[in-house]
Structure 1
Amino acid sequence: MDIALHLGAHLTDDGRLRGCLEQNRHMLQRAGIEVPEAAQFRTSILDAVKTHAQSGIAPDAGDMLLDSIVTSDNTERLVLSSTRFLSPLPSAVRRAQFCPMAEPRMKGLRALFADHNVSLYLAIRNPASFVPALLGAVNDEQANVIRGDLEPTALRWSDLVRTIRDQFPEAPITVWCDEDTPFLWEDVLTEVSGHKDGQPLAHVYDWFDTVMVEGGAAKLASYMDNAPPMERSQRQRVIAAFLDKFCDEDKIDIDVSTTGWSEETVDLLSELYDEDVATLDAMDGVTLLQP
């Protein structure tokens, strides 16, 4: 079986990838693609991963787990999406590292699914916006722990991806920048779901509610639904035009004041992020999706 593991990261699509695919569940099932709700698999998988770290798991544990998740004999591809595969939210950053729990968790996932054709998917985000968003998403005590030993200029997504590759080398990983999501959203949905032919996915443009003023996403969806078929570059130009007209700055602005960073630090983090993305682009076994 093909198994697609969407690993997050935290504070990127905020569950909208899984949500869109779940809304297309019946159509995808007809194509042999199953997208279970997180409640059907997250706890059981994480419990198995924890057991593996403590004492190992039985050789047939993965297949038994899949039997409890997969509901159709016709399923050829299983899409499992959870940011908690790599880390709980409060542990998403420690000192100079993204998801320090990734090593044992990837070992456990490999032990569960190594007999299957696994592919991995990960969105990354500029630390200059990721860290402030993380501090705003956790409670005060957790935020203080994160701030306590934070080394923001040492944070590298490529270190996390290298750890993932080391622990699950036979699983290719596809990475994209969250900042590029408006221009890659359809590509991401296609890559993760594996649904590349036939009827188009529905509710694709709901995501744009996260960056557009009220009604903007609906206008974009209506335009796209009624336009003749377009090449990828044409779609991206249309999206750029709609973003220019309907973008809601209040939805995308990040308050960095909680970090105490200067403007120079924010600029430096952005420069280092660009270099990190170039590093990822050159890594073996990594596919970087770009507009």
Structure 2
Amino acid sequence: MQNFVKIHNINKEYRAPNGDRNIILEDINLEIKQGDFISLIGHSGCGKSTLLNIIAGMDKASRGYVEVDGTRVQRPGSDRMMVFQNYSLLPWLSAWDNVALAVNKVLSHKPKVERDRIIATHLEMVGLKDAARKKPGQLSGGMKQRVALARALAIKPKLLLLDEPFGALDALTRKTLQAELMDICNLADITTIMVTHDVDEALLLSDRVVMLNNGPAATIGQILDVPFGRSRIPSEIVDNPLYHDLRHELLNFLHHQQQAQYRKVEKMPLVQSAA
């Protein structure tokens, strides 16, 4: 299978007012096949969300490029849909109308009856058929994130981008939505890139876990293949000895990165205040 997403030699830096270079990402190279689920994991500040924003076209790389299905990313587009941790719903609109915003803009060439069918289908897909006319203030956190997922999926994007989509949810709701997301991605064969801090979430959902070294100038430190089949039952996965080996490898990487950060801080010179 040919590579569907190509991330080539991505560097990202900012210039401080004094002219100093603040390098966020350095020499990021990654190729992703169609239908793959990839997780990006690493400590805070390693540039995971920055990389996701570059793939989305919401940020510009200082060097390098991203291609999706053979087209170079220059700006945001409906072929790449992002789901954020904070839901990003308009509070004065119902769940139906929040999804309709995307559908009516991107699929305006379709008849209204067809657009309405698409909206209804995707709200039902995420379990919100009976809550379609409720506004975000009447919905739980998990229901709000379901609306955001329905909105992203309804326009049939080529690439789904998730920035810690379940980070603000309680453990039970998070597990439910993880299972639903896994089923949806398998059914639609959608290519997905997710930023997460959750090792178990990464192992449950991913085909590969991409581990980023600490910043500044973060690079890809390791890529872990997750060899489980796509129809995963969480209770069976966690009982598999291989799962625990993979989990240990991920935690070991993160631990070494944390220890390296501690050593770096210890070597920093103390700043003495003036008498």
Return the TM-score normalized by structure 1.
0.26
Return the TM-score normalized by structure 2.
0.27
